[in-house]
Amino acid sequence: MLRIFTTIGCTSAKHLKEHLKTHQIAYEENNLHKLLLDTEKLESFLCMHEEEWSYLFPTLEKRKVDASFVAWLQNHPSCLQRPLIFDDTKDVDLEGLRAYARQYCNAKSSNWLLCGKSRLSD
């Protein structure tokens, strides 16, 4: 199943969800803020997706996932890419969906000053 992790007010997430509904692609939405608040779940999530570090954190060098990094991330959540998109089934064009969502994270987005510049690698 396609899983997306979003935050309230994220322009990219809004457009992505509209795109998925238009193309009748089923997805499970998760609140990224809830994940960030749960230290144990966050550490498990990061370890599970460690091979996708450059996707999760486009502007950070790879670091060891440990309690100190998890605590740092909880205090600096804007460095985490949003929305996060994962597909366990490999039934969709994951890179295409990620690129689609990224196109809406730009200087015209309502939340650009809060999160945009810190998350884009290009």
The tens-digit pLDDT sequence of the chain (122 residues) is: 899 998 888 888 898 999 999 999 999 999 988 888 999 999 999 999 988 888 888 878 888 999 999 999 998 887 788 888 998 888 888 888 888 887 776 555 555 455 554 454 43
Say what the pLDDT of residue 106 is: 58
- Cβ neighbours of residue 24 under 8 Å, at least 6 residues apart? none
pLDDT at 9: 80
Asked if 51 and 86 count as a contact pair (C-beta separation under 8 A), the reply is no
Q: Are strands 84-87 and 27-31 parallel, antiparallel or unpaired?
A: unpaired
Q: Go through the chain and tell me how many residues it has.
A: 122
Domain that holds residue 22: 2-119
What pLDDT does residue 42 have? 92
Tell me, what's the pLDDT at 121? Answer: 43
* Residue whose tokens read 């007010």: 9
**Among candidate residues 102, 116, 120, 78, the one with its CA nearest the CA of residue 12:** 102
Specify the pairing of strand 84-87 against strand 2-6: antiparallel
Cα–Cα distance for residue pair 98/107, rounded to 1 Å:
18
Residue 122: predicted pLDDT: 38
The answer to whether the bond into 77 is cis (omega within 30° of 0) is: no
pLDDT at 104: 73
> How many independent structural domains does the chain possess?
1
CATH number at residue 76: 3.40.30
| AA identity, residue 75 | N
pLDDT of residue 109: 52
